């Protein structure tokens, strides 16, 4: 449970890094503490807290789920994260470096009802930038899920229902003032075990995105996702499946009517556990995406995930992915008006990771990712013609996790990310270095 909380916030800065790369150096720099002092502060805070944890003798009476309301378990939690990042960008040298503090109190409730379970998670984020205080933001996330299991023996029916709501108050990227973004995601999944070897799954989810700022409201949209799969076990630890997916994106503003799209994905796959140490999943498929404006994209998609336990303490993971991606941005048209535009590309990604349990409480983490993005846009964000853009992204990371108890963990991580673009668009090439320390507890 504690691991899931830390993993959920592991890439806390991922959205902040991308926002910073687009915003440029719009923030006002404060006088006083320099970047050298900021670095020392991060290391000092990390060293101090780790030392306290090493010296702390946890009482055996402290355990997960000690707060109860009848059968309901209450788990209060808290996450602290200090992140120092440095971006080297020849097009925007003013971005420089910054120290970001994030504080996240939370609460989890679990209510078992016979074979069923109802869960609720609440998490509030407060993010503060030392050098660019006008980038500060806060937001909260509420997630409720219900898992219901019916039937006995080989025939069982499982029903999962969920709702996630995010509300984030953040600075607008190209407009003055701030904006409120509200996201809602509703999900349902129905699984039917026809017998010991055959399972059918059906799921549907609806995601809604709403922006309070009038300019940003161009990005208001609904996203529907339908999914069905047929799973057949052909060996005790080997399952083949056919997965079908349908996505639909509907923009609420009539000015973005042509950006509405629908996507079909269909293909087979296989999951297996070859040995007690080797497991994986391979999936191939065909994707067809059609925009309202008439553009149609046909391509093959694939994912490969392999996990190999080299020993009881060492785990190696390998992954490949190919798929269609897109993101949107705000740009100025010739009249000086803010309009929304798309960037569409094909992603090719390879990743590896190696984790090693040093001792009972310490785990070393490492990983490397290579990504090649092939863009389809023939104009840049300013509307000028450009050669098709190609991005190569290299990222490596190392880390150390200290977990003295199931409900308490601390992470120390360093990540280096380099992007090189052949499109020549300002802001595409950069080097990003991130050092972070996080401390999380979930009682």
- Show the domains of the chain with their CATH numbers: 2-442 (2.40.160)
Q: Is there a contact between 74 and 107 (Cβ–Cβ < 8 Å)?
A: yes
Q: Is there a contact between 103 and 79 (Cβ–Cβ < 8 Å)?
A: yes
Name the more confident of 73 and 203.
203
pTM here? 0.75
Which residue in 32, 52, 18 sits closest to 437, CA to CA? 52
User: Which of these ranges, 178-192, 341-355, 373-387, has the smallest mean pLDDT?
Assistant: 373-387
| Residue 102: per-residue pLDDT | 92
| Residue 56: per-residue pLDDT | 47
| Residue 105: per-residue pLDDT | 92
Residue 229 neighbours by CB distance under 10 Å: 16
Name the more confident of 326 and 159.
159
Average pLDDT, the chain: 80
Reading the block at residue 370, the tokens are: 């290579």
Q: Is there a contact between 127 and 16 (Cβ–Cβ < 8 Å)?
A: yes
Q: pLDDT grade, residue 156 (50/70/90)?
A: confident
| Residue 38: per-residue pLDDT | 54
Query: What percent of the chain is helix, strand and coil (3-state, nearest 5)?
Result: 10, 65, 25
Q: pLDDT grade, residue 170 (50/70/90)?
A: low
| Residue 11: per-residue pLDDT | 34
* HSE-up of residue 94 (Cα within 13 Å, Cβ side): 9
Q: Is there a contact between 147 and 117 (Cβ–Cβ < 8 Å)?
A: yes
Helix (H/G/I), strand (E/B), else coil: 97:
strand
Q: What is the mean pLDDT of residues 126-146?
A: 87
Helix (H/G/I), strand (E/B), else coil: 22:
helix
Q: pLDDT grade, residue 74 (50/70/90)?
A: confident
Q: What is the mean pLDDT of residues 293-307?
A: 90
Portion of the chain with pLDDT greater than 70, in percent: 74
Portion of the chain with pLDDT greater than 90, in percent: 41
| Residue 4: per-residue pLDDT | 44
- Residues for the chain: how many in total? 443
Q: pLDDT grade, residue 272 (50/70/90)?
A: very high
| Residue 154: per-residue pLDDT | 62
pLDDT of 207 over the 90 cut: yes
Cα 333 to Cα 184, 376, 381: the distances in Å are: 31, 20, 10
User: Which of these ranges, 189-203, 243-257, 350-364, has the smallest mean pLDDT?
Assistant: 243-257
In this predicted model, what pLDDT tens digit does every residue of 2-44 receive, in sequence order?
444 444 444 333 444 444 333 333 333 343 445 555 555 555 5
Residues near 264 by beta carbon (within 8 Å), at least 6 away in sequence: 244, 245, 246, 287, 288, 289
Q: Is there a contact between 240 and 270 (Cβ–Cβ < 8 Å)?
A: yes
Name the more confident of 174 and 352.
352
Q: pLDDT grade, residue 90 (50/70/90)?
A: low
In this predicted model, what pLDDT tens digit does every residue of 225-251 receive, in sequence order?
999 999 999 998 999 999 999 999 998
Q: Is there a contact between 398 and 365 (Cβ–Cβ < 8 Å)?
A: yes
Q: pLDDT grade, residue 297 (50/70/90)?
A: confident
| Residue 304: per-residue pLDDT | 96
254-169-80 Cα angle (round to 5) = 140
The residue to which tokens 């499946």 are assigned: 241
Exposed/middle/buried for 375, CB within 10 Å: 0-12, 13-18, 19+?
buried
Which residue in 78, 126, 128 sits closest to 100, CA to CA? 128
| Residue 332: per-residue pLDDT | 54
pLDDT of 346 over the 60 cut: yes
Q: What is the mean pLDDT of residues 278-302?
A: 91
User: Which of these ranges, 124-128, 178-182, 313-317, 332-336, has the smallest mean pLDDT?
Assistant: 332-336
Q: What is the mean pLDDT of residues 178-206?
A: 90
């Amino acid at each position: 449970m504690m691991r899931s909380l830390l993993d959920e916030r592991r890439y806390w800065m991922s959205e902040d890094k991308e926002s910073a790369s687009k915003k440029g150096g719009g923030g006002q720099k404060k006088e006083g503490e320099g970047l050298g002092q900021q670095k020392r502060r991060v290391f000092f805070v990390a060293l101090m807290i780790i030392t306290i944890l090493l010296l702390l003798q946890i009482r055996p009476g402290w355990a997960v789920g000690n707060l109860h309301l009848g059968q309901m378990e209450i788990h209060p939690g808290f996450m602290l994260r200090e992140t120092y990042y440095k971006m080297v960008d020849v097009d925007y040298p003013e971005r420089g470096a910054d120290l970001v503090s994030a504080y996240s109190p939370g609460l989890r409730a679990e209510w078992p009802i016979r074979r069923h379970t109802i869960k609720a998670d609440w998490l509030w984020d407060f993010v503060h930038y030392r050098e660019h205080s006008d980038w500060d933001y806060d937001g909260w996330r509420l997630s409720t899920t219900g898992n219901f299991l019916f039937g006995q023996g080989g025939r069982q029916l499982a029903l999962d229902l969920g709702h996630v709501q995010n509300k984030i108050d953040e600075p607008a990227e190209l407009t003055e003032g701030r904006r409120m973004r509200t996201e809602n995601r509703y999900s349902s999944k129905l699984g039917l075990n026809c017998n010991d070897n055959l399972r059918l799954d059906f799921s549907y989810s609806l995601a809604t995105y709403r922006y309070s700022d009038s300019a940003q409201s161009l990005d208001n949209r609904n996203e529907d996702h339908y999914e069905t799969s047929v799973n057949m076990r052909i060996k005790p630890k080997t399952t083949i499946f056919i997965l079908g997916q349908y996505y639909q994106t509907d923009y609420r503003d009539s000015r973005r009517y042509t950006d509405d799209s629908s996507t079909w994905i269909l293909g087979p796959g296989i999951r297996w556990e070859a040995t007690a140490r080797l497991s994986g999943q391979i999936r191939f498929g065909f994707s067809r995406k059609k925009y309202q404006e008439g553009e149609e994209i046909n391509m093959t998609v694939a994912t490969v995930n392999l996990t190999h336990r080299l020993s009881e303490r060492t785990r190696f993971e390998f992954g490949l992915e190919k798929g269609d991606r897109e993101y949107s941005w705000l740009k100025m048209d010739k009249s000086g008006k803010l309009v929304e535009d798309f960037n569409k590309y094909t992603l090719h990604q390879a990743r590896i990771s190696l984790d090693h349990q040093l001792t009972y409480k310490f785990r070393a983490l490492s990983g490397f990712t290579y990504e090649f993005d092939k863009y389809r846009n023939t104009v840049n964000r300013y509307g000028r013609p450009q050669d098709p853009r190609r991005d190569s992204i290299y990222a490596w990371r190392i880390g150390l996790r200290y977990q003295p108890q199931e409900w308490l963990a601390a992470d120390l991580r360093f990540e280096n990310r380099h992007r090189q673009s052949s499109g020549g668009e300002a802001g595409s090439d950069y080097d990003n270095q991130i050092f972070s320390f996080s401390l999380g507890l979930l009682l």
